[in-house]
Amino acid sequence: MRTELQARVSMWINASLDVELAPLDGGTSLTLTQRGFVGSEREQADAAIESTSGFTIVLCDLKTLLETGRSAGLTKSKAKLISASL
C-alpha cells in the first residue's frame, strides 16, 4: 500500500489537461486543469464550460460507483445527449 500519493499526468484533448493527485486529510485530492482552448473568446468560454460540465458528470458518476458499487448512468446519459446533438 502506498502511503504517499503524488502523481501528475498530462494529456491532450483539444487542449492540455493536467491531472494532479495529492494526499489530503487521509484521502486524495484530485485537481483537473485544462488549458489551451482555441477559437474566439466566446468559443473558448463555451468549451471551458462544456468541459467543466463533462468532468463534473464523470466524477459524480465515479463517486456514486465507488460509494455504492453501481454507476448512476450519468456518463452514459450525457454521451447519448451528445450523440443526439451531432
- DSSP code of residue 44: H
Widest CA span in the chain: 47
Is the pTM higher than 0.75? The answer reads: no
In whole angstroms, give the CA distance from residue 26 to residue 36. 33
pLDDT at position 14 is 65
Looking at the chain, the whole-number percentage of residues with pLDDT higher than 70 is 84
Domain positions in the chain are 1-36, 38-86
Check if the beta carbon of residue 23 is closer than 8 Å to that of residue 5.
yes
* Cβ partners under 8 Å of residue 16, min gap 6: 10, 34, 35, 36
Mean pLDDT in residue range 17-33: 89
